[in-house]
A = this chain, B = another copy of it.
């Protein structure tokens, strides 16, 4: 029930076309419908230049295709994450406008121009070449959400000069997403060099006592540099969304 319908109901009561009991009955369902509006407000906010996003992992090709189709009818941009090459190929065939990013394993289907919405630049930093897929997922997510994105890859802490060499790029960013595996030291080092928010993304890169990224995750949560917050292992998408929310005007 929207406000117009609510107004109409009240007018019916005023005009005695609608009985008190009948109106009470109608109003019983109100909270949740109204809440739904509230949520739609949220959604509208989210949709300002933001694409709809489908988490592709664990979904079959027909499932993804059906959801995509339904989204495109609403003229929305569609971003599909965790999309393996096989599904990527099939989706490109089904939606010729789709562009597949093999590194990030994402599909993007543009229905309209992306509206630039960020205050500044989102800088995605990563430690090693094996962290690039997760970094790219973050970068593409942020781009699709209307942000200017810069990339600074392969600057792990075992060769400090690499990151120090690029300190201007670090200082130029409004939000930083820092992706690393192994001992996960990079976010601490980066956060010590900048005064902007740092989102740390642990990756499952490593072996043995890396425990599939758990070690990296725990290390990042224990960062000695205050102001670092952390998302789930390999969750480039989540970091991209968090960075976009921070960067929004």
Alpha-carbon distance between A237 and B218 when the two chains are bound, in angstroms: 18
A160 to chain B, nearest CB (A): 6
Could you tell me the distance between the alpha carbons of A220 and B209 in the complex, rounded to whole angstroms? 10
What would 19 A/B residue contacts be, using CB atoms closer than 8 Å? A13-B14, A14-B14, A35-B161, A36-B165, A53-B226, A157-B185, A158-B189, A160-B189, A160-B192, A185-B189, A196-B245, A199-B229, A208-B232, A209-B214, A210-B222, A214-B218, A215-B215, A215-B219, A228-B231
Q: Does A182 contact B (CB under 8 A)?
A: yes
Q: Hey, which bits of chain A sit against chain B, CB under 8 A?
A: 3, 6-7, 10-11, 13-14, 16, 20, 23-24, 27-28, 30-36, 38-39, 41-42, 45-46, 53, 57-59, 63, 127-130, 156-161, 164-165, 167, 171, 181-185, 188-189, 191-197, 199, 202, 204-235, 237-239, 241-242, 244-246, 248
Q: Determine whether the beta carbon of A160 is less than 8 Å from that of B164.
A: yes
**Given A182-B223, A226-B237, A160:B10 Cβ within 8 A:** no
Residues of B within 8 A of A32 (CB): 31, 161, 164-165, 167
Are A209 and B188 touching (Cβ within 8 A)? no
CB within 8 A of A39: which of B59, B157, B193?
B193
**A161 cross-chain contacts in B, Cβ below 8 A:** 32, 35-36, 38-39
CB-CB under 8 A from A223, the residues of chain B are: 158, 182-183
- Say whether B216 contacts A227, CB under 8 Å: no
Please, which residues of chain B bring their CB within 8 A of the CB of A185? 157, 183-185, 188-189, 219, 224
